[in-house]
Structure 1
């Protein structure tokens, strides 16, 4: 487990508890995704990493960039993270927040990467199969990845199912080169 995820976990838990208590899970989800996206902007990262800026200046600048897309509680989170030198954790905090949100709903978000478009019928069959395997409702999103050549790769939480042609060829290559 990465150190960033470990460091982000208590912040994500606190944000989730705050959002759940105030019945603002959807709003917090949107804000967390937005702040995570802002924090990954390369130009902003370069400015925020300037050692001449104080922690207060870093948080004020970040809040200014976010504008009206975040509320006062989210601004307080930004100030806390900046004060502790943890703004870099926003993508991990957002990811962990979404995981806790899914856990609370009894669902899991899954992604299928395939070389070609997945039909609605195929998607429904896969969702049902994953539901049986994982014991939870599954929200499946699909993406096209031409590099897979054929087949598909499914990511559901920590589970990865590689049924791609590319994956099979890599396994054969490994077996043959031993």
Structure 2
């Protein structure tokens, strides 16, 4: 899927501002998540990129698919995006909205990528240590990557902590080559 970050930014900011004013950050997360999931479908992307559908037809299609998950503000948001032919940018709008929400709430979503499944106690300990380091509440999503030889990699926004065996070997090789 194309990168619509620049296009999505003002829409994400507007949605966030409206959600904060209405004290509905979680509700808007749910709405944008549902809309983004629909737009991520390859067939839907082709439909939304087609010049054959008018903005009103695009709006009606999205409301038919997601209307039950949207409040009045969400429906108006879909209409605005359709009018400007920006529905295709919804996954990026949702991602940027979530980043704004996390910053507002002082939370951070991070991924813990390991060679084998991590138990809950270790995941909680890593989340707590990372939270102290970053001074935020961290929610860790565990992932398994069997390509890792051992260890783990933590990705939290722009921060990457590579404690994998491969990462250690790469650092050792770099140091030996100096």
Superposed CA offset, 1:52-81 (max 9, x none):
111111111121111311222112111111
Is the alpha carbon distance of 1:172 and 1:38 closer, same or farther for their aligned partners in structure 2, counting shifts above 3 Å?
farther
1:36 aligned to 2:12?
no
Is the alpha carbon distance of 1:46 and 1:170 closer, same or farther for their aligned partners in structure 2, counting shifts above 3 Å?
farther
Runs (5+) with no aligned partner, structure 1: none
Is the alpha carbon distance of 1:61 and 1:175 closer, same or farther for their aligned partners in structure 2, counting shifts above 3 Å?
farther
Q: Which residue of 1 aligns with 2:118?
A: 118
Asked whether the equivalents of residues 19 and 25 of structure 1 are also in contact (C-alpha less than 8 Å), the reply is yes
State the 4+ residue runs in structure 1 displaced beyond 3 angstroms: 166-177
Report the Cα distance in structure 1 between the residues aligned to 2:154 and 2:8, rounded to whole angstroms.
25
Q: Note the C-alpha offset of 1:174.
A: 7.8
Report the Cα distance in structure 2 between the residues aligned to 1:5 and 1:12, rounded to whole angstroms.
10
Task: Choose 166-175 or 64-73, whichever is displaced more.
Answer: 166-175
Q: Note the C-alpha offset of 1:17.
A: 1.2
Secondary structure of the 1:148 match is coil
Q: TM-score, normalised by structure 2?
A: 0.88
Secondary structure of the 1:111 match is strand
Secondary structure of the 1:146 match is coil
Report the Cα distance in structure 1 between the residues aligned to 2:59 and 2:169, rounded to whole angstroms.
48
Tell me how many residue pairs correspond in the alignment.
Answer: 177
Q: TM-score, normalised by structure 1?
A: 0.88
Q: Which residue of 1 aligns with 2:11?
A: 11
Give the CA RMSD over aligned residues: 2.4
Q: Note the C-alpha offset of 1:169.
A: 5.1
1:104 aligned to 2:104?
yes
Q: Which residue of 2 aligns with 1:81?
A: 81
Is the alpha carbon distance of 1:170 and 1:35 closer, same or farther for their aligned partners in structure 2, counting shifts above 3 Å?
farther
Q: Which residue of 1 aligns with 2:94?
A: 94
Q: Which residue of 1 aligns with 2:20?
A: 20
Report the Cα distance in structure 2 between the residues aligned to 1:24 and 1:48, rounded to whole angstroms.
28
Is the alpha carbon distance of 1:123 and 1:53 closer, same or farther for their aligned partners in structure 2, counting shifts above 3 Å?
same
Q: Note the C-alpha offset of 1:7.
A: 2.2
